[in-house]
Structure formats: structure tokens, C-alpha cells
Amino acid sequence: MSLDFVQTIPSDQISSLLRKVSYGLVTTCVLGAAVYIGYRVAAPDKYSIKQHRHPELNDQIEKVVASLKITDEQLQHIMRTLEEEMSAGLSPATHKQASVKMFPSYVRHISKGTEVGQVLALDLGGTNFRILLIKLRGNSKIDLTSKIFVVPQSVMIGDGRHLFRHLVECLSDFMKRETLLHSGITYPLGFTFSFPCKQESLSSARLTSWTKGFSCAGVVNEDVVKLLQDAIDEKGINVKCAALVNDTVGTLMACAYKDPSTAIGLILGTGTNACYIESLDRVGTWDGDYNEPKQVIINMEWGAFGDNGCLHHIRTKYDEEVDLSSINPGNQTFEKMISGMYMGEIVRLIILDLLQQELLFLGHRDTYGDYKTPLYNRGGFYTKFVSIVETDEGIKFSNTRRVLEDIGIRNPTFDDCVIVQHICRQVSKRAARLAGAGLAVLINRMEKPNITIGVDGSLYRYHPRFKRNMERFYADGSICLDILQRNWSPTYDVCAILTSIRSLLNDPNPNSPANNEAAKLFLENRRLYESKVRKLVEESIMADQITNDLKLIDDNDDEKKKSIDKSSSSSTSNNNDNNNNNNNNNNQEAQATAASASSSSNP
């Protein structure tokens, strides 16, 4: 579908359509590339900080919050810097020193859904991990059984051998439940390992550093596939680890199974990372063959962007404190400003700072100064609290009050609730802007007319405003210039189309880089303009099945989570990807890679 024109439709209808389409795309792990390019995230908050407070107190609070705001010029500088860091990571001369490592994944082919067989998958990406039995039926059909297991804190920070033995014990229990043990069949296993690795082949990867709270000894610089296989052999179960895929790569592959134009994978969860399809002639570190297809998925490991100090100018004192108190100071700088593992802690530090300055919870500094209060405990303000606070609409602030009570704040005032929500929103907006700027760099680099982004992760799924913040375009096109000026918004997906409509409504200017042709028609023949895009929108909306699902989530946050969990399971059961479906000699690797892609669709 070619998009040459857009229509003027009421903004409330656009907003409704965006919500519907965006939810539908999440269930298939697809979000349009253009959604993430420019962001009008500086929209005014619904409630200003005034009420019963002295003006000078409001000014002091705004000075604190202002440190979180990133200007358009700063974003553009960040984008240029990221591009430079990517080039350094891809060059053999500078790769070792580069903060953004740009690891080749050795995944070059995308599945067509023709694989058949029975495979296992193990998805390790955080404090929970999943084991799955995936039956590949061919014709893009999959039957899936899975179970979630926990990684105890003692295992996360203990000896590496204990971690892999724990994984294999759980794998053995799962296989016993599914009557797979002692069957006489050796099952191929796809390993989704969501930590920075230098991949050496499809079935070999060395851990470069731990993230997400893990610090197991004896694993860094070791081949994690070998460590897992050694534990499997020690246990004596009939499994062969045939492929390792990073969760971000798996998300791209799972999404491409549904939409061949997918070229970027994004994770926004406990951690954050991105991958994209790169031409081999631009990968100086490539050590494989140059046969067709002359491309490879690059695992960026962009969470480490800024570890060399290039993002120091946008870091706040709260970011620095989060970093210093983490288990990996000086590492994962970009991730610590974006991901779910750290967002709640940033909010906690700001709240605590305002309390100590007597700018928040006025008159109660001594009351809440008890170090037994969760507010004083590191990690005491969960990122899920940020999501809950941001679901509040109106003036009752029932969710915000509940969260504050959970951290030991009793009977907060209306002003207190307004300020806490304001802090949460600013921290979230900054994260969305930074993630969006990174995606803009990737899309510019690939110069493809049609791009879809596969996106997943708990932050993206459950935060009520994160998607919305990433869907906002700058009205002046200052960030989306490099993307949209290329024939203006080629068909990425329906959500991107509708977002572009919103962008044009903000600036229907024939000289706007957002859309020269459509803007000109907007001024010259409004009726034809509206007719063309009305038809476009009607043809594009995937309304029926999505609308039914949306009824479950419009008004109730708990129901929303249940609905998303259900759709996530459905999405997982329909994803089957493989990086080498044309090579019959590597069938086990192909099946295991498909399993890894399926397992990564809900990190």
C-alpha cells in the first residue's frame, strides 16, 4: 500500500484509532517504524503544580524536574553521537574500545514458516525464565507449551556453574512433565540469552558482561552455550543446545514471521536493547562468508551507549547515584536512563530529595524520615509503581495514593499526588525520547522505504503512556526530518499512518518536510484530500478483532494486564522463525533458532 495522502479527521478519533491499532500491533509484536521517530513529548501535563503552594516552592520543584528534560538540540546531538559509536563498533580497528559493540548475530535468513519438528526453547532474560516445548507444524503453525521458573537471588549472584545447573534442573523437570525424558530422541534446544554476548557462531557466544542484577562468577568471557551443554550432559538428559539467539534478535525474527518488512527489533523491559539488519559490506568485524543474502542482523547492545562518557551532559545527579549504587557502576549508561530496572529508582531518589528539601509532603519530613520506610530503601519504589501512578486520570489520584501508602506515605495531599505524578511522567518521557532517538538513527541508516519495528518488553507492554510518548511527532518535524522527507512516511503500518496524520494536522504546510504532496493538496483541494485519506484509513484499520479486545482494557488497568498476558501468549504461539530455513543440512539449528525466536516474544 502506497501512502501519498492523508486526511483531516478529528483528533479524538485519531487518538482512539491509535490506541486500537497500537494494541493490535503489540499482540503481533509489530510497531511501525515511523511511530518512533519524532516525539512531541513536551505536551503540557494535565495538572500544573500550583494549588495551595507558595510560588517559590513550585519554582524549586520545577528546577529539579527540569534536569530530566532533554532539548531537541540535545536529542539531535545524541543521535549523531550514537551513529558515530555504531561505526566504531562495526570497525575492527575501534571495536574493542567501542561502547556500542554491534555484535554480528550470525542470523542472516528469516523463517518462512515451513519448518517442522519438535524443539525445546529456554528463555533467560531476568529473574524469571521460561522453558517451552514448541511443535513446528509447517504452514506457519505452532503448538506451544511453556512454564515459567524463578532464578533465586542467591543463584543470580553466585557461582556460574550453579546458575546453569539450576536451569538444567528446571529443564529436566519440564521434560519429565511433558514425558520427553528417556524417549530415545535427542531434542534440539534454542537458547535465548538476553545478556551482552560476542557471538562466534549460531551455536557459540561468549558473555561480555552481566546486566539486570546478575553477577555470576566464572561466566564472563566464557561460551554460555558450552556452559549450558556441559550442565545438560552432567545431568544426562537428551538435549542438544543447537542455537543461541539474543532476545532482541528473536523479537525481530518473530515479528518478521508476520511482516517481512521488519528490519529492527527493540526490547523495552527490565533492560533495553536493539538490533537491525545490516549490509555485510558495512560490517568490518564480519568473519563469515559473503554468500547471499549479503546481510546479517546486528545485535547492538545499545544499553552500553554512553559508557565512554559521551552522555555525561544529559545525566542528572539521580542517574549518577543510580549508577554508583548498581552492581555494575560505569556500565549500561543508556539502559540506566531508559529501562524498567532503573526507572522506579530514579523516581524514588527524586521524591526523597524533594522530601529532604521540604518541597514534598510538607511538614512531614521527620514523620517520613524513618529509614525503615520503603522510600529510604534502595529499590523501594518499583517501576510498576510508575506505571500505576500514570494510570490516574482526574483529581482523585486513587492509584497514586495507594502507591504512596505502599511506600509508607500516609494521607498524602492533593499537591503531593500531583507532584509525584509529575515526576513519574517526566522520568517516563525522558526514557521514551531517548529510545525514540536511538530508533531514528537506525531507520536513517538503513534508508529503506518500508520498515517495521518488532518491539516487546514489560515496560512497553504495561506502562500506560510509554507507547503514547513514542508516538508523538514534533510539530515542526525537527527530529523526523531525515525520515519523513523521503517521499513522506511510506507504509510502515497503520499506527504509523495515523500518527503521520496527526503530525500533518499539527502543521499542514506545503513546505513542511513531513509531507510536501499531501500538505499541498490539503491547501488546494480539502475535499479531495479528505476523501483520499478516508479511503486509506478505512482500508488500513484492523478494527474488528482489535476492537473486541480493546473493550477489555479501556477502563481497568488490572484487566489490561490480563488481556495483554493473554494476547502475549497468543502471539508467542504464532511465532516461528529461523535464520537458515534454506539449509537442510542444518535442520536442528534452524529448528532451534525458530524456537528461540518464539520464546523471545515475551521477555
**Buried-exposed string 432-461: b where 16+ CB fall within 10 A, e elsewhere:** bbbbbbbbbbbbebeeeebbbbbbbbbbbb
Residues 459-464 have a mean pLDDT of 87
Give the closest residue to 421 by CA, choosing from 448, 457, 446, 396. Answer: 396
Residues 122-149 have a mean pLDDT of 84
Across the beta sheet with 187-193, the strand order is: 141-150, 128-138, 116-124, 187-193, 239-245
Which residue type does 4 have?
D
Query: Residue 469's pLDDT is what?
Result: 80
Give the closest residue to 105 by CA, choosing from 196, 28, 32, 189. Answer: 196
Query: Residue 526's pLDDT is what?
Result: 64
When comparing pLDDT for 333 and 462, which is higher?
333
pLDDT band at 336 (very low <50, low <70, confident <90, very high): very high
Secondary element (H or E) of residue 130: strand 128-138
Residues 31-47 have a mean pLDDT of 33
Residues 29-41 have a mean pLDDT of 30
| Cβ–Cβ < 8 Å for 38, 72 | no
d(CA 282, CA 263): 16
Which residue type does 238 have?
N
Query: Residue 597's pLDDT is what?
Result: 56
The pairing of beta strand 116-124 with beta strand 187-193:
parallel
CA-CA distances (angstroms) from residue 300 to 131, 368, 443? Answer: 26, 43, 14
Give the closest residue to 401 by CA, choosing from 388, 387, 375, 376. Answer: 388
Catalytic residue chosen out of the listed positions 123, 223, 247, 415: 247
Query: Residue 122's pLDDT is what?
Result: 93
Query: Residue 424's pLDDT is what?
Result: 96
CATH no., domain 55-71+310-429: 3.40.367.20
Query: Residue 261's pLDDT is what?
Result: 79
Residues 582-600 have a mean pLDDT of 49
Query: Residue 59's pLDDT is what?
Result: 83
d(CA 341, CA 383): 7
Secondary element (H or E) of residue 456: strand 452-456
Identify the bridge partners of residue 145 per DSSP, sorted by sequence position: 133
What is the widest separation between alpha-carbon atoms in the chain?
Answer: 76
Residues 453-479 have a mean pLDDT of 70
Half-sphere exposure of 8 (CA within 13 A, CB side): 13
Residue 283 pLDDT > 60:
yes
pLDDT band at 599 (very low <50, low <70, confident <90, very high): low
Which burial class, exposed, middle or buried, applies to 552 when counting CB atoms under 10 A from its CB (0-12, 13-18, 19+)?
Answer: middle
Query: Residue 401's pLDDT is what?
Result: 95
* pLDDT over 70, % of the chain: 66
Query: Residue 198's pLDDT is what?
Result: 86
Query: Residue 596's pLDDT is what?
Result: 56
130 included as an active-site residue? yes
Residues 21-25 have a mean pLDDT of 34
d(CA 365, CA 388): 24
pLDDT digits (tens, 9 = 90+) for 486-517: 222 222 222 232 233 333 333 333 333 334 45
Grid coordinates given for 500:
503521520
Catalytic residue chosen out of the listed positions 19, 130, 348, 430: 130
When comparing pLDDT for 48 and 124, which is higher?
124
Residue 34 pLDDT > 60:
no
pLDDT band at 520 (very low <50, low <70, confident <90, very high): low
Query: Residue 245's pLDDT is what?
Result: 85
Residues 39-66 have a mean pLDDT of 58
Catalytic residue chosen out of the listed positions 22, 194, 596, 601: 194
pLDDT digits (tens, 9 = 90+) for 194-205: 888 888 888 899
Per DSSP, which regions of 208-294 are E strands?
239-245, 262-268, 272-279
Question: Where in the chain are the domains?
Answer: 1-30+472-566, 55-71+310-429, 113-245
Q: Which of 140-154, 303-317, 323-337, 468-482 has the lowest mean pLDDT?
A: 468-482
CATH no., domain 113-245: 3.30.420.40
Per DSSP, which regions of 185-279 are E strands?
187-193, 197-201, 204-207, 239-245, 262-268, 272-279
Q: Characterise 36 by phi-psi region: left (phi > 0), alpha (psi -120 to 50), beta (else).
A: alpha
Grid coordinates given for 158:
553466585
Instruction: Say whether 360 sits in a helix, a strand or coil.
Output: coil
d(CA 168, CA 230): 10
Residues 88-100 have a mean pLDDT of 96
| Cβ–Cβ < 8 Å for 49, 491 | no
| Cβ–Cβ < 8 Å for 430, 68 | yes
247 included as an active-site residue? yes
The packing angle between helices 55-66 and 414-446, to 10°, is 30
Which residue type does 70 have?
I
What average pLDDT does the structure give for the chain?
74
d(CA 579, CA 363): 61
Residue 8 pLDDT > 80:
no
DSSP symbols for 361-412:
STT-TTTT--TTSGGGSTT-S-HHHHHHHTT--SS--HHHHHHHHHTT--S-
**Buried-exposed string 197-233: b where 16+ CB fall within 10 A, e elsewhere:** bbbbebbbbbbbbbbbbbebeebbeebbbebbbbbbe
Highest mean pLDDT of the ranges 365-379, 391-405, 575-589 = 391-405
pTM: 0.66
pLDDT band at 461 (very low <50, low <70, confident <90, very high): confident
Identify the bridge partners of residue 70 per DSSP, sorted by sequence position: none
DSSP symbols for 76-125:
HHHHHHHHHHHHHHHSTTTGGG-SS--EE--------S--EEEEEEEEES
DSSP symbols for 295-313:
EEEEE--GGGTTTTSTTGG
pLDDT band at 56 (very low <50, low <70, confident <90, very high): low
